[in-house]
């Protein structure tokens, strides 16, 4: 049956509500009249024209809005004066105004309630929660030192100061965890500094009560700031979000303090999320040579993709940082070669499968060379650098890695002289096998190439007799 819709977007047959603009289905908790896509487009247009429903500077009930000091996914933060008590506060007002759905309002209220329930010297206290002219708001203590990201962009911090900041925040996060609350959006913009430079954690906008899961947190939305969210958040796996998720956030902030960069940053939100899910972070020491091995190890342990390999708690992170500050041995250890190899194989299953095949294949070729060579003198072979027929840098790196493994494998064949990797690298791409054989004093050359087709990698090899330029055998 064909359906029509009235001006409110409600299907006249009593079924699902439809968007007034494009006719798409509107979810049960969506705003009346518009689907999420049209709502987003409308909101962006409003932002472009400055027509958001956030209050303008001036009077706002008991508050005088003095200046905008921050804007995030849920609200706008103002420096304001509370007239009744004549004090300066930070006032957060929900940004979507009348466009806000009940889900947005619930999340906003939970932010205020979660933060208000925590009484800790390093958590920004909530003064008042209210609603005015259809906009929810809450006021909190105004910290004079500004946001941590402003410090990072400005003068930066020393390694010791970075460790002290994260250790202090880790104790603060542990306090919240012990009371059943996760933060889930730890980032430099949510860390405020007081006049003495001490860090305070703010904005529990994504916090949830661990024991009281709600429909708000059971959605598959990717919540958080992409450069600092854990892989389980990036994948939308809300069931896997635990205290280890906040440990990741602390590690991501620590990474930025050490290097000046977040661990992952793509050109778009999608690219950043893909990096979070698929790519290992660059060692902080490659960004900043002053970072010692222990600090890099602590930081990388926090941002392991496998949450089980992170610190077991925020306080465990704090204690390891305090060991470093006291010049004591840390408990974290860098992942061993076997662990790193397993992680590499999981990320590169196809290329990993080629390595043992290539080694076995070329070891057999080595035996062929040895059997054909005169017994009075050791046979000599040079394995020329393989070519990547696709011109892909990633393929070239893989091929060079296989090249090294092949050399090591052939060197173990008795009475087989194998020319070193350094000696053959100058002959990459050359084709005069007889001339190369004379220059290297070998009887055999091994050539190879790599190409891709249909998502598979093809490896071709040829064994050449340098005295006759004859191909003795090929392998695929």
Q: How far apart are CA 437 and CA 113, in angstroms?
A: 78
What pLDDT, in 10s, does the model give residues 164-176?
999 999 999 999 9
Q: Give me the phi and psi of 35, to 5 degrees please.
A: -80, 165
Distance from chain centroid for Cα 170? 20
pLDDT band at 314 (very low <50, low <70, confident <90, very high): very high
Distance from chain centroid for Cα 439? 49
Of 167, 113, 159, the residue nearest 136 (C-alpha): 113
- 465 counts as catalytic: no
Structure tokens belonging to residue 267: 């050109």
Of 401, 116, 444, 162, the residue nearest 291 (C-alpha): 162
pLDDT at 10: 42
Least confident of 15-19, 268-272, 459-463, 470-474: 15-19
Q: What is the mean pLDDT of the chain?
A: 75
Structure tokens belonging to residue 158: 């020393």
Structure tokens belonging to residue 354: 């080629």
What pLDDT, in 10s, does the model give residues 101-152?
677 677 767 767 777 788 899 998 888 888 777 677 888 899 888 888 878 7
Q: Return the CA Rg of the chain.
A: 31
Q: Are 229 and 277 in contact (CB under 8 A)?
A: no
Of 376, 371, 375, 395, the residue nearest 385 (C-alpha): 395
Residue 69's Cβ-count burial label (10 Å; 0-12, 13-18, 19+) is: middle
- Domains belonging to the chain, first-starting first, are 1-51 (no CATH), 58-141 (3.30.200.20), 152-343 (1.10.510.10), 348-475 (3.40.50.10610)
Of 335, 343, 458, 351, the residue nearest 397 (C-alpha): 351
DSSP 8-class letter at 9 = S
Out of 149, 185, 294, 400, which one is annotated catalytic? Answer: 185
Residue with tokens 């860098």: 334
């Amino acid at each position: 049956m064909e359906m029509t819709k009235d001006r409110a977007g409600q299907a006249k047959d009593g079924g699902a509500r439809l968007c007034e603009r494009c006719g798409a289905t509107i979810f049960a908790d969506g705003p009346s009249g518009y689907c999420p896509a049209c709502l987003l487009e409308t909101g962006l247009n409003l932002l472009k024209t400055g027509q958001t429903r956030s209050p303008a500077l001036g009077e706002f009930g008991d508050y005088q809005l003095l200046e905008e000091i921050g804007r995030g996914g849920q609200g706008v933060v103002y420096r304001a004066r509370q007239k009744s008590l004549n004090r300066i506060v930070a006032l957060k007002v929900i940004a979507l105004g009348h466009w806000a759905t009940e889900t947005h309002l619930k999340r906003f209220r939970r932010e205020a309630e979660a933060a208000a329930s925590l009484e800790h010297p390093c958590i920004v206290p909530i003064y008042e929660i209210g609603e005015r002219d259809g906009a929810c708001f809450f006021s909190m203590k105004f910290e004079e030192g500004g946001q941590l990201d402003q410090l990072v962009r400005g003068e930066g911090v020393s390694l010791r100061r970075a460790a002290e900041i994260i250790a202090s925040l880790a104790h603060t996060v542990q306090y919240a965890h012990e009371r059943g609350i996760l933060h889930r959006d730890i980032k430099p913009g949510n860390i405020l500094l007081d006049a003495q430079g001490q860090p305070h954690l703010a904005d529990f906008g994504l916090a949830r009560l661990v024991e009281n899961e709600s429909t708000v947190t059971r959605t598959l939305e990717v919540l958080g700031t992409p450069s600092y969210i854990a892989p389980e958040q990036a994948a939308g796996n809300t069931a896997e979000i635990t205290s280890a998720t906040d440990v990741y956030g602390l590690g991501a902030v620590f990474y930025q303090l050490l290097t000046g960069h977040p661990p992952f940053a793509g050109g778009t939100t999608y690219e950043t999320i893909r990096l979070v899910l698929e790519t290992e972070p660059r060692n902080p020491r490659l960004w900043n040579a002053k970072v010692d091995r222990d600090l890099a190890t602590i930081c990388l342990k926090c941002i392991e993709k496998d949450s089980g390999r992170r610190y077991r708690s925020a306080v465990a992170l704090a204690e390891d940082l305090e060991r470093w500050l006291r010049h004591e041995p840390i408990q974290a250890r860098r992942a061993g070669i076997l662990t790193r190899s397993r992680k590499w194989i999981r990320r590169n299953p196809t290329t990993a499968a080629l390595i043992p095949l290539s080694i076995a294949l070329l070891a057999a070729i080595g035996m062929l060379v040895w059997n054909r060579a005169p017994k009075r003198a050791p046979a000599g072979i040079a394995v020329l650098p393989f070519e990547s027929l696709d011109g892909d840098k990633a393929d070239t790196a893989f091929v060079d890695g296989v090249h090294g493994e092949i050399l090591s494998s052939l060197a173990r064949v008795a009475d087989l002289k194998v020319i070193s990797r350094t000696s053959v690298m100058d002959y990459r791409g050359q084709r005069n096998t007889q001339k190369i054989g004379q220059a290297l004093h070998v009887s055999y050359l091994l050539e190879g190439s790599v190409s891709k087709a249909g998502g598979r990698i093809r490896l071709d090899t040829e064994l050449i007799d340098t005295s006759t330029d004859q191909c003795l055998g090929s392998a695929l």
